[in-house]
Structure 1
Amino acid sequence: MTTDLTRFDATELAELIRTRRASSVEVVQAHLHRIKAVNSKINAVVTVADGALDAARAADEELAAGAEVGPLHGVPFTVKDSFDTAGVLTQRGSPIFAGRIPDTDATSVARMKHAGAILLAKTNLPEFAYWIESDNLLTGRTNNPWDLERSAGGSSGGESAAIAAGMSPLGIGSDLSISLRGPAADTGIVALKPTHGRIPMTGAWPREPRRDWHAGPMARTIRDLALAYSLLAGPDGADGFSTVPREFDAGVGASPDRPVRVGWLVDSGLGPIDAEVVATVQQAADALQGPGIRVDAVSIPALERDNPLELFTRQHVMEMKPVMQEVTAGHEDQMFMYSRTMLAAPDTSVKDYVLAEQGIERLRDGFAEYFQQYDALLLPVTTIFAHAHGLTQFTLDGRTMEAFHVSSTTVPFNLTGLPALSMRFGTSSDGMPIGVQLAASWHAESTILYIATLLESLSPVRDQHPTL
């Protein structure tokens, strides 16, 4: 084919391969060429998987022989380097794990392969996947393909940058507080953090705090998210948080009986938010108004009563520090600055930890009440769009905010385990992507995928890509 295969989404690539209009070898080779052409500027890919072309040849041979094939047969995918990949380096962004090669695949990786997808590469992350920017001492810093002087986010920043730059059509990331949705917003792609436990975290690291970590797909189109989610979801018999059958879904879609009800907010306890981000959410809310959708401005009292960022910090320090101390003992000179900062954080007292747990329970109750009235919530993904490298503080509405405030809009859905999706819907005055976030009730992934599909069709920024 003369068309650039790196600009097709995974769904169309699978169709091209299945109908023999393109070979898997052609598709994989195109993405390898793209990595070679642009990765030196971005540093999103940290390891190219040996054997990707051999796997593509085998995929083409199977198709020629008339074998039954999976929905992603012959399509390449990439994986954040915190997920184990059998026979392929998994170094977790740290010199402490340099040269580490697992014997088995993480559950999510194995499921992608079972669907016929071909592991192409591993992507960059902050050390141990614990920060809002993807930078570390082992594999360095990832740059945003829209502006190399800005961050691609963290902790799935390498994955988001690789997909945005056409080095991969589809990938797997993880999310502790912002790590799927924030990077997606920073680079103009889409990402889904499903209900906690929907996709097993088996073979992904770290696991602490286990109640907050989520695995999820990243892509350039909503239909790719939906496809990948359908393949990745469901118990694996190893992750005790993953118990709900894949087939179960509590969502709602178009119905003649009543409209889908969407509430939107840009405040309600979230703190200051950049004016251009606010305007983008309002634009998305206006775009959704129409047949079958009712959109209202809302507030959520639970978000105003208990500050989710404060709850997260008190819980996170208590549960994260022991495992980090164990892993880094004797390797303190190999730690990146952000890991040092987290280890230096004051311990949470038992009393404050219990109070944080009670606050999280109130937050869950508040969202349960909200979702009795509405099917989805529309709000910002991040409080600012893609920022400069090395952010420690920023100013909004005359207030100086610590860097982690960028995640005040995403953290609530990790604490509560609610599904949430990030997608681009706007552009800043200086040309950077701006995203919006959709959340729904527990196990209602189909609701936000349905609404996101509508928004995608209405988006003023469809099919825009960075120029490299």
Structure 2
Amino acid sequence: MEMQQSKTDELFYQDASALAELIRTKKVSPVEVVKAHLNRIEDVNPKINAIVTIANDVLEIAKEAEKAVIRGDELGPLHGVPFTAKDSIDSAKILTQRGSPIFKGRVPDNDATAIARMKKAGGILLAKTNLPEFSYWIESDNLLTGKTNNPWDLTRTPGGSSGGESAAIAAGMSPIGLGTDLAISVRGPAAQTGIVSLKATHGRIPMTGVWPRVPHRFWHLGPMARSIRDLALSFSQLAGADGLDSFSSSVPRFDKNVWQLPYRPLRVGWMTGPGFGPVDAEVTATVKAAVEALQSIGIFVEQVGIPALERDFALDVFNRLHIMEMKPAFRQATAGRSENEIYKMAKTMLSLPDTSMNDFIDAEQAAERIKDGYAQYFQKYDALITQVLPIPAHKHGVEEFIIDGQKVDAIYLQGATVPLNVAGLPGISMRFGTSKEGLPINIQIVGSWFAESTILYVASLLEKLSPTQGLHPSF
């Protein structure tokens, strides 16, 4: 199969669904698609440092995928399409070093469930992407594989902890990939680089083969991509219990072709606070623009509040819970290791005081109140639109920000994302605006538990209305 040479440069900015169709109809071959992305990595990764390991024998695997097309074999929905995965997600016989010298040279024997499912759908694992040490921080920087830059502005971060993944997709080095999310980590990086991502209901996608496993009740694995249809397609392949992750749900698998809508007309609420912390005016304006776009096509939208988020600040609740549960895993991983092998975030985590038992119990009860507050909200509404981040992508290494006249530290960037981890709710991050400095601004679409189909539908409507469709960083 030979493709027209004029299309070579276009391949690396196609979404996964388009690439799968081009391969299925023999307009391009899997080998050509993989080569286009490998060439793109060679061209731009030295400036961005998103890709940390190229998968073994990727061209040979692509050649086998090409033979299957020529033979007329039954093809999976992602047949021949390259994908990437965050380097905390195990990949069989391929380096998975978790952003730390402690795990330098680590090669797992088995694929994580999510990688195995992407492969079963026909996807070709292309590369592993950068992350912060132990997947723990809002920037992707570590002692082993260094710092990742934002392709929209190399002086800024693409976020964390799935920042390597977001930068790779935004820069055309990968059409689709896998990240993980403890408090912000697939949605925030997507917002900082202008791509889309989905944090599904807790347990919808198994975490088997992902480290760290604790606090397991807050960790999520999710797809990151270039289009809403790619989120639906990949989620349809990733969702469902695997018999190994005790949290993974046994509800029916999601079908990308059946986006189930409520029996009544959609009702959507929106808010940028209170309960999330301060937010920049440009971000608020982007949320309002998305709301107005939905209203323009007849969707009922109104401004709302969720009193439970005002009573219990979810970020504080999350911190009191996860510090108590995560510190033992960090202690175990770093036991007996040299100070030179441990980066600043692990050191910071280990230095924090333990949560008292009274505070821990109080935080547990607050988490239940937050869940109840969302449950009450979703009795009336089908979706909630908020900000993802309070500001666009920030400069590397900044630890304090002035947002709407208030000084906050960097942890407050998680103010609108962490409530979904505390409650286990699904959320989509998608671009709908641009800052005065030319940086992406995303919105967050939140749904009730197991209502991924509804928020994917709302996102698909907004995608058609977005003024930012088709924008890519110039490289």
User: Structure 1 length normalisation: TM-score?
Assistant: 0.98
The aligned residue for residue 337 of structure 1 is 344
The aligned residue for residue 40 of structure 2 is 34
> SS of 1:198's equivalent?
coil
Q: Which amino acid aligns with 2:334?
A: T
Mapped partners of 2:291, 2:383: distance in 1:
12
Mapped partners of 2:407, 2:303: distance in 1:
27
Superposed CA deviations along residues 93-144 of structure 1, whole A, max 9, x for unmatched, are: 0000000000000000000000010000000000000100000000000000
Alpha-carbon contact 1:52-1:119 (below 8 Å) kept: yes
The aligned residue for residue 428 of structure 1 is 435
Alpha-carbon contact 1:134-1:154 (below 8 Å) kept: yes
Q: Which amino acid aligns with 1:192?
A: L
User: Deviation at 1:338?
Assistant: 1.5
User: Deviation at 1:418?
Assistant: 0.3
1:116 aligns with 2:122: yes
The aligned residue for residue 64 of structure 1 is 70
User: Deviation at 1:245?
Assistant: 2.8
Aligned residues: 466
Superposed CA deviations along residues 132-169 of structure 1, whole A, max 9, x for unmatched, are: 00000000000000000000000000000000000000
1:265 aligns with 2:271: yes
User: Structure 2 length normalisation: TM-score?
Assistant: 0.97
User: Deviation at 1:38?
Assistant: 0.1
The aligned residue for residue 404 of structure 1 is 411
The aligned residue for residue 284 of structure 1 is 290
Which consecutive residues of structure 2, in runs of 5 or more, have no partner in the other structure?
Answer: none
Mapped partners of 1:65, 1:230: distance in 2:
26
Alpha-carbon contact 1:264-1:285 (below 8 Å) kept: yes
Q: Which amino acid aligns with 1:294?
A: F
Mapped partners of 2:261, 2:217: distance in 1:
32
Q: Which amino acid aligns with 1:199?
A: I
Task: Decide which moves more: 192-201 or 237-246.
Answer: 237-246
The aligned residue for residue 466 of structure 2 is 459
The aligned residue for residue 390 of structure 2 is 383
> SS of 1:373's equivalent?
coil
Mapped partners of 2:95, 2:242: distance in 1:
23
> SS of 2:326's equivalent?
helix
Which consecutive residues of structure 1, in runs of 5 or more, have no partner in the other structure?
Answer: none
Alpha-carbon contact 2:281-2:404 (below 8 Å) kept: no
The aligned residue for residue 142 of structure 1 is 148
* Segments ≥4 residues shifted beyond 4 Å: 251-255
Alpha-carbon contact 2:261-2:453 (below 8 Å) kept: no
Identity among equivalent positions (%) equals 61
**Residues 42-53 of structure 1 aligned to structure 2 (within 5 Å):** 42-53=48-59
The aligned residue for residue 54 of structure 1 is 60
1:197 aligns with 2:203: yes
User: Deviation at 1:248?
Assistant: 6.2
**Residues 8-407 of structure 1 aligned to structure 2 (within 5 Å):** 8-247=14-253, 258-333=264-339, 334-407=341-414
Task: Decide which moves more: 340-349 or 361-370.
Answer: 340-349
What's the Cα RMSD here?
1.2
User: Deviation at 1:244?
Assistant: 2.4
Q: Which amino acid aligns with 2:87?
A: D
User: Deviation at 1:397?
Assistant: 2.5
User: Deviation at 1:349?
Assistant: 0.3
Alpha-carbon contact 1:278-1:380 (below 8 Å) kept: yes
User: Deviation at 1:253?
Assistant: 5.1
User: Deviation at 1:378?
Assistant: 0.1
User: Deviation at 1:292?
Assistant: 5.0
User: Deviation at 1:268?
Assistant: 2.2
Mapped partners of 1:326, 1:363: distance in 2:
31
Task: Decide which moves more: 383-392 or 35-44.
Answer: 383-392
User: Deviation at 1:399?
Assistant: 1.8
